[in-house]
Amino acid sequence: MSLGGTFEEENKWLLEENEKRRREMIDFDELNKQFTPEEIHDENIFKPLKGAYVCRIDRLEHIQGVSEKTGDPYDFYSLNAEIVEIAEGDKGVGRYLKQTYRNDNEGIKKLLNAMFTSGIELDRSSQESLDLSLPSAKDKTIKIRAWRWTPERTREGIDIPEEDRRSIQQIKVVKEIKLGKGGKDKGEDLKPSSVPF
């Protein structure tokens, strides 16, 4: 940039770029003659992940309500965790893994075990106390092992044709990640080195 130059001299490149863009403006009359919009279909590009991950708890909450589809009530706990580091397996930084826990004795035990495994204490003196302590888990790091499960039969026992089978994401909160052949430090526990908080 020269001192004392005019605006046009100092910003010549910008003015040329703007002029070039004006010349390349879209001719909508021509576009409409040659173009017909097409619907975009969901191709389910986010397939279930397989691997070991360090995650940040985004949400841990008690969810209750009534299904708009069936009218049936629902009541469960939900863990949403964002992948922040890949130990091994599929790429997925920035994606979310989700686990639900039933609101019954077995479901609550699984939730408490998962949090205890990660060093996160929740108040289990009552359901109300538990619910009030859930937000304390936000932004804590946990380690997750993830895999895909593809059911071959419906819940009613009817075979699902191979072309109609869909994989379902499965996860498990773990204390340490033992890495296999494809991992960063084979056989050693992963230390979250690049977790941004």
The band of 3, judged by pLDDT with boundaries at 50, 70 and 90, is low
- What is the reported pLDDT for 34? 77
CB 170 within 8 A of CB 80: no
Residue at 194 is within a domain = no
Query: How many residues can be counted in the chain?
Result: 197
CB 44 within 8 A of CB 154: no
Residue at 27 is within a domain = no
Parent domain of 94: 51-174
- The pTM of the full predicted model, rounded to 2 decimals, is 0.67
Residue at 83 is within a domain = yes
CA 64 – CA 62 distance, rounded (Å): 7
CA 169 – CA 30 distance, rounded (Å): 47
- What is the reported pLDDT for 197? 39
pLDDT digits (tens, 9 = 90+) for 75-132: 999 999 999 999 999 999 999 999 999 999 999 999 999 999 999 999 999 999 999 9
Residue at 11 is within a domain = no
- Looking at the structure of the chain, the number of domains it has is 1
Residue at 29 is within a domain = no
Residue at 103 is within a domain = yes
The band of 190, judged by pLDDT with boundaries at 50, 70 and 90, is very low
Burial string for 98-118 (b: 16+ CB within 10 Å, else e) reads ebebebeeeebebbbebbeeb
* E-only strand ranges, the chain: 51-66, 73-89, 96-102, 141-149, 168-174
pLDDT digits (tens, 9 = 90+) for 42-83: 665 678 999 999 999 999 999 999 999 999 999 999 999 999
Tell me phi and psi for residue 180, to 5 degrees: -100, -150
For residue 141, what are the CA distances in angstroms to 14, 92, 110? 46, 16, 18
Q: Give the H/E segment covering residue 18.
A: helix 12-23
Q: What angle do CA 149, 181, 140 make, to 5 degrees?
A: 65
